[in-house]
Amino acid sequence: MHRGKGMKFVGDSRVPAPEMRTPKLPKDYSEYPGKTEAFWPNFLLKEWMVGAVFLVGYLSLTVAHPAPLERIADPTDTGYIPLPDWYFLFLYQLLKYSFASGPYTVIGAMIIPGLAFGGLLLAPFLDRGPERRPRKRPLATGFMLLSLAAVVFLTWQSVATHDWAAAERQGKIVQKVEIDKNSEGYKIAQANTCITCHGDSFQGGAGAPTLIGTGLSADEVAKIAKQGKGGKMPPGVFKGSDEELKKLSEYISGLGKK
């Protein structure tokens, strides 16, 4: 055959062709118009805009519903019931149950939360499938829904069962009043165990409200001293005479008045 006419050159199959020896380069993202964007400034600008919307929303909430201030912490007030921040309310509620409180506090404070958060840390190793659709990942989806439901339920229970009225009374800011402990009214209150619950400066404590700036008249104070109030103060606590009751009621009703 003449050279170049119908002749085929067959190379050694062990030698790769030139195009096979060229390493494959990553695809140029310009091949996907409309599906990609530049990180700077397009992507970051969108992130900043979303962050700004949330920031304005949070600032609006703080202006519309400011956080209530409470009185200065008193370490001697054993009746004060603290409330943790909202993101810890589910753990706070967990410690109220009998199986996680008292002698079993370690279970509620360490073991149960440790197992839950340990499971979240192990989630990437337990569910290594390529699927991304929730219905094709039943174990991961089920555990996540169960955890979310538990957190939401416990948080709701903590808010629903908390005595907000008592918390407001406990944290009420009371004006500082100079108490004359040598006055006759104070000595009568001391003799009738008033300061045992209401504090040595009538600042409140042990679940009892403050007696400073109550806005009650002397007659109303005398009535409460004799008949009690709300089940928390039983009737008959005052054991003095009518004259002492009058002096005591006038003394207490005058606390905090300018």
Question: Residue positions in the annotated binding site for heme c?
Answer: 194, 197-198
Task: Give 248's contacts (C-beta < 8 A, 6+ positions apart).
Answer: 185, 188, 189, 192, 194, 221, 222, 225, 238, 240
Mark 111-138 as b/e (b = at least 16 C-beta within 10 Å): ebeeeeeeeeeeeeeeeeeeeeeeeeee
Tokens of 216: 């009650």
Tokens of 249: 């009621």
Look at the block and give the residue holding tokens 């407001």. 168
H helix runs in 73-217, sequence order = 89-94, 105-106, 112-126, 138-161, 164-170, 184-191, 194-198
H helix runs in 65-111, sequence order = 89-94, 105-106
Look at the block and give the residue holding tokens 């100079």. 178
